[in-house]
Amino acid sequence: MEGLTDKEKKGVERYNNFDTLGNAYARKHGTRPSTIGLVLSASPISLLAWVGEKFLPWSDTSPSTTEILDSVTLYWFTQSFPRAIYPYRQFFGANPTLFHNDLQYYIQKPLGYPCHPQELAPVPRKWVAETGNLVWYREHESGGHFAAMEKPETFVKDIEEFVKEVWPEARKRDCN
């Protein structure tokens, strides 16, 4: 953890704790997405239990019961949860890529990263920069895994600032 700030070290500790005690659900999503998808599609109560419980410990401030029910209801009525968990195979499938320190996974396109301290695994800026072309970064004082829901104005502002950063260069490149 050499070269990391105290906040970044705390974030790495947060990830290590999550990796040890909190990611069993992710392993199930990554290794058996069809099974868990089918099980959770059979009952709205099962889906609420599986997804709803994560809103409290993964948020910086606890969302209201209505916000949790709204999110889970969206999954239920669109039947999108089974498809939404397939990306977990990237980390827990047959050929996991884990963290992308391999050059073949380097992200060439401009990359923006907002860091929220209560994210499950807030990645240190230095590490993000090693995985891709980091052109925009913002360290926030609050926010968790559901930052877009917790702080929608901040989320929109981050997107707008990132786009302002990359848009002029993209327009130049695409117009030539």
Residues 169 and 113 occupy one common structural domain = yes
Show the low-confidence residues of the chain (pLDDT under 50).
Answer: none
Q: Supply the pTM of this predicted model.
A: 0.81
- Report how far apart, in Å, the C-alpha atoms of 157 and of each of 139, 154, 162, 164 are: 13, 5, 9, 10
Distance CA 76, CA 172 (A): 43
Residue 143 within a domain:
yes
Q: List the domain range (segments joined by +) for residue 78.
A: 11-92
Residue showing tokens 């970064």: 137
Query: In sequence order, which residues have a C-beta less than 8 Å from that of residue 74 and are 6 or more positions away?
Result: 80
pLDDT at 174: 66
Residues 75 and 34 occupy one common structural domain = yes
pLDDT digits (tens, 9 = 90+) for 92-139: 878 887 666 678 888 999 999 999 999 999 999 999 998 899 999 999
Phi, psi of 109 (to 5 degrees): -70, 155
Residues 33 and 78 occupy one common structural domain = yes
Task: Report the 3 state secondary structure along 102-144.
Answer: CHHHCEEEEEEEEECCECCCCCCHHHHHHHEEEEEEEECCCCE
pLDDT at 101: 66
Picking from 36, 68, 92, the residue at the C-terminal end of a domain is 92
